[in-house]
Amino acid sequence: MSRPRFPGQAVLVTGASRGIGAAVALAFAREGARVALQYAHDGAAARQVHGALPGGGHLTIRADLGRREEATGLVEKARLALGGLNILINNAGIYRTRRFEAYDPLSWRQDWDDLLMVNLTAPAELAFHAASAMIRAGHGGKIINISSRGAFRGEPESPAYGAAKAGLNSLTGSLAVALAPYRISVCALAPGWVETDMAQPYLSGKPGRQRLADVPLGRAARTEEIAAAVLFLASEEAAYASGTILDMNGASYLRT
């Protein structure tokens, strides 16, 4: 049996009650890490994921990342419970779609307030507090932000989401440079369609088949594929990849 890649390391995964976050938490636990699973609302689902994790020392933490004060306190809760923090995975996100003609001034402003808070401001808060803790501890660390193909190709029915993910990419690069002297690596992963509960309404029926027809591989990514890429970016083998934004979209959008 091969040695675990992250023995005893402390990992905080946001949005870990389902989808990509749950798969990432499971992948880290299988590699020997102790995992703090953040969830916002579905405690039963988070506890189910927690119960499926191999090894010990894992925990769940409720925090609504739509509320700045809860996002700010999350890292310290995880750090104290885990006895430190080596890796932060900023995965939690929300997505809403609406045709431009259906917006009014109030719904337009509400989408920008909500989506930027959860998809950009909260990850920035978590990254700041995680990096600060890593610097105090003096052991370096990893921060990985889950971005989106939409940051590059645009999101005409969810412009706030696309803008937030583009901002997250910029934040990734900025922090990669700023934190390099402290041996803290910062990367991002930009998936296209992934088989998750959040994506399921958009991938079902005829509209879903049309969306997947635009993917040369002809399918959405599996959450396990995304998790494997996250583990690579978090590994020592990828230490020199700091600042990288890794595309995983089945060749549905190509950056040159």
Tens of pLDDT, residues 176-222: 999 999 999 999 999 999 999 888 888 989 989 999 999 999 999 99
Residue 254 is which amino acid?
Answer: L
β-pairing, 184-191 with 141-146? parallel
Tens of pLDDT, residues 193-206: 999 988 888 898 99
Which pTM does this prediction carry? 0.96
Interior CA angle at 248 toward 246 and 251, to 5°?
120
CATH class for the domain made up of 10-246:
alpha beta
Nearby residues of 154 by Cβ (< 8 Å), 6 or more positions away: 162
Q: Which residues are catalytic?
A: 161
The predicted pLDDT at position 256 comes to 82
The predicted pLDDT at position 178 comes to 98
The predicted pLDDT at position 200 comes to 87
In the chain, domain spans? 10-246
Taking the CA of residue 67 as centre, how many other CA atoms within 13 Å lie in the half-sphere pointing to its CB?
A: 10
The predicted pLDDT at position 118 comes to 98
Q: How far apart are CA 210 and CA 65, in angstroms?
A: 33
β-pairing, 10-13 with 141-146? unpaired
Whether 28 and 3 have beta carbons less than 8 Å apart is answered as: no
- What residues form DSSP beta bridges with 88? 12, 143
Whether 26 and 52 have beta carbons less than 8 Å apart is answered as: yes
The predicted pLDDT at position 45 comes to 98
Q: How far apart are CA 84 and CA 186, in angstroms?
A: 18
The predicted pLDDT at position 207 comes to 86
Whether 61 and 78 have beta carbons less than 8 Å apart is answered as: yes
Whether 59 and 107 have beta carbons less than 8 Å apart is answered as: no
- 121-133 burial: b if 16+ Cβ within 10 Å, else e: bbbbbbbebbbeb
The predicted pLDDT at position 1 comes to 57
β-pairing, 34-39 with 10-13? parallel
Q: And the tokens for 160?
A: 């706030």
Strands of 10-13's sheet, edge to edge?
Answer: 59-62, 34-39, 10-13, 87-90, 141-146, 184-191, 245-248
- Each residue's pLDDT, cut to its tens digit, for the chain (256 residues) gives 578 999 999 999 999 999 999 999 999 999 999 999 999 999 999 999 999 999 999 999 999 999 999 999 999 999 999 999 999 999 999 999 999 999 999 999 999 999 999 999 999 999 999 999 999 999 999 999 999 999 999 999 999 999 999 999 999 999 999 999 999 999 999 999 999 988 888 898 998 999 999 999 999 999 999 999 999 999 999 999 999 999 999 999 999 8
Residue 190 is which amino acid?
Answer: A
DSSP state of 221: B
